[in-house]
Amino acid sequence: MNEAVNAVAEQPKVEEKKDRGEKIDFKMVTFVLAGKEYGIDIMNVKEIAHAGRFTYVPNAAPFVRGVYNLRGEIISIIDLRTMFHLPAERKDEGTLENLLILQIHEQVFGIIVDQIDKVVGINRSSIQPPHPIFGDINVKYIRGIVENLSKLYIILDVEKIFMPKAKEEKEDAYHHAVPARAAANPSVPTHVAPPDAADDDLELGFIREALAALRNFATSAINETWFRRRFDEWKEMRSGRDLQLKEGGEADLYLEGFYSPYTGELWGQEYIEAFEAILPAIEGASINVWNPGCGKGFETWSVACALKRKYPNGRIKIWANDSDLLNISMAPNMVFSFDAPPEYYAEFMVQGRNGWSFRQDIRDAIFFEFHDVLNTNSVPPSDLIVCRDMLSFLNPLDQKRVVLDFAEKLKKNGVAVVGANERLDLEGWVPAGTGIISAYAKA
């Protein structure tokens, strides 16, 4: 999507490069965590220390090693390796650890790292943005990456790691609860919540972020119920092993079971009949349907047949769109290779040379469009909106926008169908579904 923007941005970059590298306007303290080089803005580092024998604090998050008396000031000590789920060697009792004493705003605390290296000066403009699949540490906590003397340093954003509140307040308005914050905030070493709950909240927070980074799955009020339920199942499945999602495959595994029935195939008899049952009584001869995120189009064809059955005399028009060009390109000319169509669809299909396809009047009822739901659209006021498992893959702010658009586009007696594990329990919507169909009407 950003090609045009990149193309425009390319030119000035060339000139910038000339005076890059000479001017040092950013210094960072570098250190090693599990064999990799990291950096922290020197402005956040108060001093470097060696210390051990930290005073254990009961009921604190697992990465809080304890508290320490730094010349009369009591500071909490965080083990950065445990916090990021990196391997940490357990040293003998009494061995001194390498500590970076950080100061962020008013808070002073220490972090344990494997090895402290040196101070490196760079130019701010040489910091490259982090890549979403960066490895061991959540991309959200990475400020960027920089090369210096042929070494790559990952610059951590300590303000975001240790003071999430300040930077994230905006997001919070919609994003229900991000409880990871409470546990991750080291300024409360004497955390009183039961350790289990604190751990869970932390893990939930990490999983939320992993799903967003790896699969664009955004947790919000729309899927929170499912997300929590799935977490319990997940814990059982992993039985004590690491709960975090480290790569795409694991994220897919976590999302298994989220998708609505019959994703990527024609809807089965019981599902389509349940769907037919929740369709509203429509006055007037024309029925407009909006089907954003229709993917390969199976869902659209199923909906078209159900509508044809429910309103045999209605003039049905379905605006089906998806932003995946490859998927949607195949949708208009769908041909099936089965010997005989499923019973429900039989009357709507005809056999051609290459296999079975839908009757011309069904085809005429559907407009398949290459369209991004976040852009403006020309969909008319609709009697029905079918949008299964799409909202969850937008960021929370866009989800909100699209839901508002739904409310605007949906007629008074209309019904909006969302994914089986999605809920529109938001202001202005009332449930209108039954059992396996998650549907809502305007309040």
Partner 1 sequence: MRVEYINPFVESAFNVLKEVLQGDIKRGELYLKSTSMPVMGVAALVGLAGDVEGRVLFDMEKASALKIASAMNGEQLTAMDELVKATITELANMITAQAVTKLHELGFRFDLTPPAIFTGDNMEVSDQDVEALIVPMETPQGKIEINVAIRERG
Q: Please give the single-letter amino acid code of residue 186.
A: P
What's the rounded Cα separation, in Å, for the pair 330 and 322?
Answer: 11
**11/150 with CB nearer partner 1:** 11
411 binds partner 1 (CB under 8 A): no
Q: Does 305 sit near partner 1 (CB under 8 A)?
A: no
Q: What is the DSSP string of 175-203?
A: S---THHHHH-TT-TT--S-HHHHHHHHH
Residue from 82, 125, 148, 329 touching partner 1 (CB under 8 A): that is 329
Q: How many CB atoms lie within 10 A of CB 208?
A: 20
- Does residue 328 bind partner 1 (CB under 8 A)? yes
Say how far apart CA 253 and CA 238 lie, in whole Å: 11
371 in contact with partner 1 (CB under 8 A)? yes
368 binds partner 1 (CB under 8 A): yes
Considering beta carbons, is residue 208 or 371 the nearer one to partner 1?
Answer: 371
Is the CB of 123 or the CB of 323 nearer to partner 1?
323
Query: Does residue 370 interact with partner 1 by CB under 8 A?
Result: yes
Minimal distance, residue 211 CB to partner 1, in Å:
25
285 in contact with partner 1 (CB under 8 A)? no
Residues 373-392 close enough to bind partner 1 by CB under 8 A: 375-378, 380
Q: How far is the CB of 323 from partner 1 (least distance, A)?
A: 7
- Residues, the chain: 443
Binding positions for partner 1, 146-165, rule CB under 8 A: none
3-state secondary structure of 317: strand
Segment 1 to 20, residues that bind partner 1, using CB under 8 A? 1, 3-4, 7-8
Number of residues that bind partner 1 (CB under 8 A): 22
> Residue 197 corresponds to which tokens in the numbers above?
């709950």
Token pair recorded at residue 346: 């039989």
Among 36, 367, 393, 398, binds partner 1 (CB under 8 A): 367
Stretch that binds partner 1, among 161-169, 178-186, 253-261, 365-373 (CB under 8 A): 365-373
CA–CA separation, 104 vs 167, rounded Å?
13
Is 219 or 300 the residue whose CB approaches partner 1 more closely? 300
Selected from 14, 281, 285, 325, the binder of partner 1 by CB under 8 A is: 325
Question: CA-CA distance, 201 to 181, in Å (whole number)?
Answer: 9
Tokens representing 279 are 């369709």
Write the CB contacts of 10 (distance below 8 Å, at least 6 apart in sequence): none
In the complex, the smallest distance separating the C-beta of residue 379 from partner 1, rounded to whole angstroms, is 9
Axis-axis angle for helices 298-310, 269-278 (nearest 10)? 60
How far apart CA 247 and CA 213 sit, in angstroms, is 10
Angle, CA of 400, 393 and 391, to the nearest 5°:
45
Enumerate binding residues for partner 1 (CB under 8 A). 1, 3-4, 7-8, 323, 325, 328-329, 331-332, 367-372, 375-378, 380
